[in-house]
Structure 1
Amino acid sequence: MDIWRKSSYSGPDDGNECVEIATAPTRIAVRDSKTPTRATLTFPAPTFTTFLEALKSARLR
């Protein structure tokens, strides 16, 4: 069973306009917090880490 947590960048008030993430040693799962029973995107952990590093790098420019 995945344990989901909301993004630290959730919107104001109850923060329902965000994504949720669940981590496991080999994969990262992402879903829309407004519709948690719908589709979930799952990525290999190294791929997701590379993606986050690219986002952080782009923000620093």
Structure 2
Amino acid sequence: MRVTPELSTARWRKSSYSGNQQGDACVEVSDDYPGTVPVRDSKNPTGPALLLTGTAWQPFVNSVRDGSLEGVR
């Protein structure tokens, strides 16, 4: 059984991969959960968070970096 972490007390930081100069592509991550990387849209801090495993984080970053997630909503 998987347990979803309680994110209300998470400390969020802007990802260094959020390089959009217009400020409309800001991704925040939390380092508070070993083995899990919570990700959220900084423009919607009360919205949903995507929970990635540590092993899924790098492929996610690579997809963001190479633009293959462009336009995905």
TM-score (norm 1): 0.64
Counterpart AA for 2:15: S
Partner of 2:51 in structure 1? 42
CA distance in structure 1 between the aligned counterparts of 2:12 and 2:35, rounded to whole angstroms: 16
Higher relative contact order (CA 8 A, sep 6+): 1
Question: Gaps spanning 5+ residues in structure 2: where?
Answer: 1-8, 67-73
Structure with more helix by fraction: 1
Question: Gaps spanning 5+ residues in structure 1: where?
Answer: none
TM-score (norm 2): 0.56
Q: Percent identity?
A: 35
CA distance in structure 2 between the aligned counterparts of 1:47 and 1:27, rounded to whole angstroms: 9
Runs of 4 or more consecutive aligned structure 1 residues displaced over 6 Å after TM superposition:
none
State the number of aligned residues. Answer: 54
